[in-house]
Chains A and B, each alone.
Chain A
Amino acid sequence: MSDPAPEAALTPPKWGTKEMLPLPGRYNSAVRELAAQRFAATGVAWKDVVFDRQYDLFSLADAQAVEQEALDSGYRFDFSATVSLESEPEKYKRPEKVASAFADGAVTDGRRQVGVGDNVIRKTASVTGPVALISKIEQVMGFLADGVPDGTIAVIDDSGGTLTAPIIEGFAGVICLGGSVRSHLGILAREYDVPTLMNCTIDTLVDGDVVEIEVTAAPPAADAYETGNTGHARIWKIEG
């Protein structure tokens, strides 16, 4: 016994809304509309289509067409892994120089505050050293071959643990622009006892700038990421 109404898989849900983010909204709507049209064209019961004729509902060529339509409209995707940008440069937005995210402070005692972050491991003294901005496999290859210079504080925008996997232990400190103290990089920093600030907001830094990271600050409380009570460890640039 079936209801005469359209099949449950294809009826818009009673309380539903559309996806909130643009690309899922665009792609998912496209797939839904295509699946509905394809099913209607079969003229048979849903149960005979859903798996037995699933490629009639949606195929590899359909997925390629959905992507092509987005690209033809001028849409370009954000990238996360550098391999994506390198292998399909025509599909991704080129990385733009990120504007300074932190309103840096006045110079006091030869230091200017240039950022804040969440301290992973509380130390008895701050850590000072030159920064190295790391985002590419080639840079890690270079450090693997030549070693990490003593005192280097890595600036990493990736909260994962694999990009810098073979060299993390060589850093005197880490400034991570994403994630939380529970991220993979936060976990590894704790295990390796590498002074680390996660979830950082910083002013523009360039390779060789000497910074001091306030790893004497208290780590975020257990509910900090739910309450927004984060960013208590300070980062200073040593001027002159």
Chain B
Amino acid sequence: MADLSYKSLLETNNYLRQLSDTTYWLCITRTVQESKLFPMNPYMLLSYLNTFYRLPTQLREIDAATPAEELGDRAREVSLKVDTVNAAWGMPAFYLIGREMLMNWGLLGPADAVEDVVDVLDFSRRFNLAYHRNDGHMTNKEFGDRSQFLPERTLQVFESDLHGVVPGDRLHTAATKLVAQLSQYAFLAHCECRIGLHNSGPYNFGDNRQLIVRDFFELTEGDYPWLDGIATQLPFGNLTIPIVFKDTNFNLMDDWASFEAEPSYDASNIAAVGMYTSDALTDGYQPVGMENAEKLAETMESYREILNAATADLWKRIAGWSREQMIDAGALVYSSVAKDFAHLAGTYRQDDWFQLDDRVQRFKPLMNDEYGRDDLGEMVGLLGFPHQKTSEYTMARYSGLNQNMLTGVPYSVLTDDDFAPTAGSSLSGSSSLDPKTGLWTTSAGRLELDEYNRRARGFTPSAQAPEFRYLDEEWVKRHYTSDRANALYELAQRDSRTLQGKGAGLLRADLQGNG
């Protein structure tokens, strides 16, 4: 499938270099992450290798069913796990970091797997361009560490429907406690990594207020086998909590969905909150408990209770795992960051995403805690792998040194021929974890996988229908009085408590909400 041309390689290397610089910056602004519970660094290294061997094959099937740019359109309208940290950054970065490991071991040359590299980055670029269509950037870093992918029609519904709060009232307390519980649970369910959390924004809400959108994914039975039987009273797998802050400027929202604010995050500055769910089967954001402030507080309190119990249940389950089970679970959490593309496309198979490939299993004996920690540190912090050095005259963007985290594809592949173009499409592997036996939690209820895939294949959100798909805000700017624009806006307003049927002509002054 790969187009091996000078143009495609130029584009590939351009994107690869941007990822290299951005990922280095993201890494050096953190310390090495370790956990007393999970052998994190060993599992991270294995996950990168698993991504290298499996992702090209996985993405080719997905892309054939639903092109990457269409998946970007889907992800842009709602909060799905194929988001900034999972899909926009993690998916291509993990793949390329796995490539670096193999290259450093002398098991791969820079020209090998070139077709895979081109395909993975082409998929990722098309997804990112569509996902970020509203702000026109490829990454948050390119946009000055901002993330503003939602359209006006969605933000207007948020602004109008969110419920105002003041510190100490029932909803303010319920919201802050639920967000804390969700954060805690998401770290645990994701084996200590942050990919179950997502933040985007900020969006200007006027009157010195800004909105950030906080997302929490994979909260109950779904793809992770260790969540079978956990938090099953929770009706949804994903929750989105838009939060409006007053007097707080969110000056950084990076590609790991971390935020910084001035003054720093302070729950007492929260002015309004709401709650929604979305997944591969929802037509936009679906409000959860949004009828009134009391109902929302009650819903948040009950979800918090469920998740508080689920945290203890899950912690006890995980605390009984062997080292290999912890490593397999963590590695599969990371190497499956793109799995929700398969859910959107209706091509999801459990063994594709939740087995550690045979080609990866052979490296496990190397992965003691110290090697995991130090090899990761060498690769993404010190950039100490011999092949990561470049000409002595170069000065990298953030370090000023002659080094790159990620190695480019040599253009010689266009004329030379001693390289292996692909890692192949045959997947076999295993896992030490208990197999998945539970159902999949969706907005359409708890489903068997075949039914979930069948519904996903047959579903197109209304805003992605052919008559609406290309109507962006450059078009809305001059057509907001048209029937077509009204119909587009009314799609987002269908489930709104306050804006149903109001159409496309609204400005902030017309909104009567609490947000």
Taking beta carbons and an 8 Å cutoff, which residues of A are in contact with B? Answer: 1-3, 7-10, 12-13, 15-24, 27-28, 31-32, 35-36, 45-48, 50-52, 54-55, 57-60, 62-64, 66-67, 77-84, 87-88, 91-92, 121-122, 135-137, 140-141, 144, 157-163, 165-166, 168-169, 178-180, 182-184, 187-188, 190-193, 219, 222, 225-226
User: B429 within 8 Å of A by Cβ?
Assistant: no
CA distance A2 to B111 in the complex (A): 12
CA distance A163 to B33 in the complex (A): 13
CA distance A105 to B369 in the complex (A): 36
| Pairwise interchain contact B188-A162, C-beta atoms closer than 8 A | yes
User: B500 within 8 Å of A by Cβ?
Assistant: no
With contact pairs A51-B423, A158-B34, A162-B192 given, residues A77 and B105 touching in the complex (Cβ less than 8 Å): no
Closest chain A residue to B178, Cβ basis:
A191
| Pairwise interchain contact B109-A20, C-beta atoms closer than 8 A | no
CA distance A32 to B362 in the complex (A): 15
| Pairwise interchain contact A184-B33, C-beta atoms closer than 8 A | yes
B385: chain A residues at CB < 8 Å are: 16, 19, 28
Q: Which of B37, B40, B41, B363 has the most CB of A within 10 A?
A: B37
| Pairwise interchain contact A24-B311, C-beta atoms closer than 8 A | no
User: B258 within 8 Å of A by Cβ?
Assistant: yes
B474: chain A residues at CB < 8 Å are: none
Q: Which 4 residue pairs are nearest across A and B when measured between Cβ atoms?
A: A16-B386, A9-B109, A160-B35, A191-B180
A18: chain B residues at CB < 8 Å are: 386
With contact pairs A9-B108, A165-B315, A184-B187 given, residues A81 and B370 touching in the complex (Cβ less than 8 Å): no
CB distance from A78 to the nearest CB of B (A): 4
**In the complex, which of the residues B323, B363, B391 contacts A15, with contact meaning CB atoms closer than 8 Å?**
B391
| Pairwise interchain contact A16-B417, C-beta atoms closer than 8 A | no
| Pairwise interchain contact B369-A78, C-beta atoms closer than 8 A | yes
| Pairwise interchain contact A28-B39, C-beta atoms closer than 8 A | no
Interface flags, B258-283, vs A, CB<8A=1, else 0: 10100011010000000000000000
With contact pairs A17-B389, A21-B378, A50-B108 given, residues A135 and B36 touching in the complex (Cβ less than 8 Å): yes
| Pairwise interchain contact B109-A24, C-beta atoms closer than 8 A | no
**In the complex, which of the residues B39, B180, B363, B374 contacts A83, with contact meaning CB atoms closer than 8 Å?**
B39
User: B312 within 8 Å of A by Cβ?
Assistant: yes
Q: Which of B105, B194, B375, B424 has the most CB of A within 10 A?
A: B105
| Pairwise interchain contact B371-A24, C-beta atoms closer than 8 A | yes
B179: chain A residues at CB < 8 Å are: 191
A-contacting residues, B429-463, CB 8 Å: none
CA distance A58 to B49 in the complex (A): 14
User: B7 within 8 Å of A by Cβ?
Assistant: no
With contact pairs A16-B389, A159-B34 given, residues A27 and B418 touching in the complex (Cβ less than 8 Å): no
| Pairwise interchain contact A80-B418, C-beta atoms closer than 8 A | no
| Pairwise interchain contact B366-A67, C-beta atoms closer than 8 A | yes
A-contacting residues, B342-375, CB 8 Å: 359, 361-366, 368-375
Interface flags, B182-213, vs A, CB<8A=1, else 0: 01110110011010000000000000000000
| Pairwise interchain contact A51-B37, C-beta atoms closer than 8 A | no
User: B468 within 8 Å of A by Cβ?
Assistant: no
Q: Which of A16, A67, A83 has the most CB of B within 10 A?
A: A83
A62: chain B residues at CB < 8 Å are: 362
User: B67 within 8 Å of A by Cβ?
Assistant: no
6 residue pairs of the A-B complex, CB under 8 angstroms, read A13-B387, A16-B385, A51-B112, A51-B424, A179-B31, A191-B183
| Pairwise interchain contact A50-B34, C-beta atoms closer than 8 A | no
| Pairwise interchain contact A165-B183, C-beta atoms closer than 8 A | no
Closest chain B residue to A137, Cβ basis:
B319
| Pairwise interchain contact B365-A63, C-beta atoms closer than 8 A | yes
| Pairwise interchain contact A159-B33, C-beta atoms closer than 8 A | yes
Closest chain B residue to A8, Cβ basis:
B109
CA distance A3 to B410 in the complex (A): 14
A59: chain B residues at CB < 8 Å are: 362
B365: chain A residues at CB < 8 Å are: 60, 63-64, 66-67
Interface contacts beyond A31-B107, A162-B187, A165-B187: sample of 11 additional A-B pairs, CB < 8 Å, sorted by A: A21-B377, A23-B370, A27-B366, A31-B106, A50-B109, A84-B323, A87-B323, A135-B36, A166-B312, A184-B187, A188-B184
Closest chain A residue to B392, Cβ basis:
A15
CB distance from A153 to the nearest CB of B (A): 18
A-B contact count (CB 8 A): 273
A35: chain B residues at CB < 8 Å are: 105-107
B105: chain A residues at CB < 8 Å are: 28, 31-32, 35, 58
| Pairwise interchain contact B370-A184, C-beta atoms closer than 8 A | no
User: B38 within 8 Å of A by Cβ?
Assistant: yes
User: B411 within 8 Å of A by Cβ?
Assistant: no
User: B513 within 8 Å of A by Cβ?
Assistant: no
With contact pairs A79-B369, A81-B35, A188-B180 given, residues A54 and B359 touching in the complex (Cβ less than 8 Å): yes
B18: chain A residues at CB < 8 Å are: none
**In the complex, which of the residues A83, A87, A184 contacts B194, with contact meaning CB atoms closer than 8 Å?**
A184
A-contacting residues, B94-113, CB 8 Å: 103-113
| Pairwise interchain contact A82-B36, C-beta atoms closer than 8 A | yes
CA distance A62 to B176 in the complex (A): 51
CA distance A158 to B33 in the complex (A): 9
| Pairwise interchain contact B106-A3, C-beta atoms closer than 8 A | no
| Pairwise interchain contact A182-B29, C-beta atoms closer than 8 A | yes
CA distance A17 to B374 in the complex (A): 16
A28: chain B residues at CB < 8 Å are: 104-105, 375, 385
| Pairwise interchain contact B265-A16, C-beta atoms closer than 8 A | no
A7: chain B residues at CB < 8 Å are: 109, 418
**In the complex, which of the residues B37, B104, B366 contacts A137, with contact meaning CB atoms closer than 8 Å?**
B37
CB distance from B216 to the nearest CB of A (A): 11
CA distance A19 to B84 in the complex (A): 32
| Pairwise interchain contact B417-A8, C-beta atoms closer than 8 A | no
| Pairwise interchain contact B374-A50, C-beta atoms closer than 8 A | no
| Pairwise interchain contact B323-A88, C-beta atoms closer than 8 A | yes
With contact pairs A63-B366, A182-B258, A190-B265 given, residues A77 and B184 touching in the complex (Cβ less than 8 Å): no
| Pairwise interchain contact B369-A80, C-beta atoms closer than 8 A | yes
User: B4 within 8 Å of A by Cβ?
Assistant: no
A16: chain B residues at CB < 8 Å are: 385-389
A219: chain B residues at CB < 8 Å are: 264
B111: chain A residues at CB < 8 Å are: 8
With contact pairs A2-B417, A31-B107, A82-B36 given, residues A77 and B369 touching in the complex (Cβ less than 8 Å): yes
With contact pairs A2-B416, A21-B377, A87-B322 given, residues A144 and B34 touching in the complex (Cβ less than 8 Å): no
**In the complex, which of the residues A54, A77, A78, A84 contacts B107, with contact meaning CB atoms closer than 8 Å?**
A54
Q: Which of B176, B187, B390, B391 has the most CB of A within 10 A?
A: B187
**In the complex, which of the residues B104, B183, B322, B326 contacts A187, with contact meaning CB atoms closer than 8 Å?**
B183
B417: chain A residues at CB < 8 Å are: 1-2, 47
